[in-house]
Copies of this chain bind each other. A is one copy, B any other.
Amino acid sequence: MTDGWSSALLTDQYELTMVQGALHSGAAHRRTVFEMFARRLPETRRYGVVAGTGRFLEALERFRFDPEALDYLSRAGIVDDLTLKWLADYRFSGDIWGYAEGDCYFPGSPILVVEGTFAEAVILETLALSVYNHDCAIASAASRMVTAAGERPLIEMGSRRTHEMAAVAAARAAHLAGFATTSNLEAGRRYGVPTAGTSAHSFTLLHDSERHAFSAQLEALGNGTTLLVDTYDVVRAVNCGIELAGTELGGVRIDSGDLGPLAERVRRLLDEQGAADTRIVVTGDLDEYAIQALAIAPVDGYGVGTALVTGSGTPTASLVYKLVARAHGDDPAEPLAPVAKRSVGKPSRGGRKWGVRRFDDDGTASTELVYDHEPELGPLDRPLLRRLVAGGEIVGREPLSEARERHARAVKELPMAAQRMSRGEPAIPTSFEQRVNA
């Protein structure tokens, strides 16, 4: 759908003017380390979910200033000719490490570590943050909904409530976090997310009667389809569906009203008529709390829209991308010096970090360790950074299914507190481990 596109202008202007400034001062080629991390989690999150890695690597590959982009930058007078020339040749040539997609993160976790010259690393800031801030926010909300839903499948159906391309990424992030399916077809095509959806109220209203609409749908999509039963009267609609499709009717969907009591009533109605296998799907402004409240209702699946794509109150993950170390000159042997802005109330720690998760004997995660030096791992420690880019070459690609499986495992490893819907502290504490005599 977007073959041949360049991601290079999905960037704040100041990244390019900083490159220009640093080319003039000569500091552009100093070796640097930039890190992406969250200073804190939102109050309603016990853990964050790393998402966007696959999309970032795809966008990195397309981060090229093509003639059209260069022409714009030149015409608009945004950078000078020296900088344009540098941009025309731009290829990221450094190394990138990151937390594996689907893993959990905590305050201070270095979920992305970018090593390269200042110019080549700073220029990725906006794009990297856009991708991760969006996708992590959605996946972190989705993961809680998956917890609330227990064994029942979730359908992502929020495309209409967010930007049309954000919708595709949201469907991907939700699937990664455990949603079963999405309504979004482009997410199906592009990322292989299983898709779902049958009909809306307009389909019933279009026809001369509900019966007419149901017959048309059953004929076109088969008896296994899901009928939307709340356009006029739910009981009448369910009875009509069973009359037409028999006990083979795949499912009914309730999109409005008191979902719990309605589901009870519909379940009784279906069971009385022998349609014990007909599933009840509920939709309509659900969030993790509403899902949890429906745990005792006879519901077989949930559709979630607005709350999912808006991150259930937290539409962005507040990840930052900071310079944490740099060389003083061009000597490749010189060790990098840690740097940090002087900040009140904003803990910024200089120096490259290593993230490690420590486990108890029973396999439960106990601490997120963030080292400012390469640590020696204990037997119950898991290193969290894996190589995504080596010498400019992307080496961290993986199928979305791997991230999905990893996420399911990562959540299972957390203490029970991680599953709480209430506000509170991160599920495990972060411990910053400084080198002795550093």
Asked whether, in the complex, the Cβ of B316 is within 8 Å of the Cβ of A310, the reply is yes
Quick one: given A130-B159, A189-B69, A195-B78, are A323 and B24 in contact (CB under 8 Å)? no
Asked whether, in the complex, the Cβ of B206 is within 8 Å of the Cβ of A27, the reply is yes
CB neighbours (8 Å) of A157 from chain B are: 12
Asked whether, in the complex, the Cβ of B159 is within 8 Å of the Cβ of A126, the reply is yes
For A11, give the chain B residue with the smallest CB separation. B185
Instruction: Please pick, from B127, B195, B326, the residue contacting A206 in the complex, using a CB distance under 8 A.
Output: B326
A276 at the interface (CB under 8 A from B): no
Interface string of A384-409 (1 = CB under 8 A from B): 00000000000000000000000000
Asked whether, in the complex, the Cβ of B76 is within 8 Å of the Cβ of A221, the reply is no
CB neighbours (8 Å) of A202 from chain B are: 18, 34, 118, 122, 125, 322-323
A120 at the interface (CB under 8 A from B): no
Interface string of A65-82 (1 = CB under 8 A from B): 000110011001010100
Assembled-state Cα–Cα distance A219/B344 (Å): 31
A88 at the interface (CB under 8 A from B): no
Instruction: Please pick, from B9, B24, B134, B326, the residue contacting A1 in the complex, using a CB distance under 8 A.
Output: B9
A247 at the interface (CB under 8 A from B): no
Q: How many copies does the complex hold?
A: 2
State which size class the interface on A falls in: 35 or more
Instruction: Please pick, from B72, B167, B169, B215, the residue contacting A130 in the complex, using a CB distance under 8 A.
Output: B167
Quick one: given A1-B6, A9-B189, A344-B257, are A203 and B164 in contact (CB under 8 Å)? no
Given contacts A13-B183, A122-B203, 16 further A-B contacts (CB under 8 A): A10-B167, A10-B168, A11-B185, A12-B159, A14-B183, A17-B220, A17-B221, A27-B207, A76-B195, A78-B188, A126-B160, A129-B161, A162-B316, A163-B163, A233-B342, A256-B343
Partner-B contacts on A (CB < 8 A): 1-7, 9-18, 20-25, 27, 30, 32, 34, 59, 68-69, 72-73, 76, 78, 80, 118, 122, 125-127, 129-131, 133-134, 157, 159-169, 183-186, 188-189, 195-203, 205-208, 212-213, 215-217, 219-221, 231-233, 256-257, 306, 309-310, 315-316, 318, 321-323, 326, 328, 339-344, 346
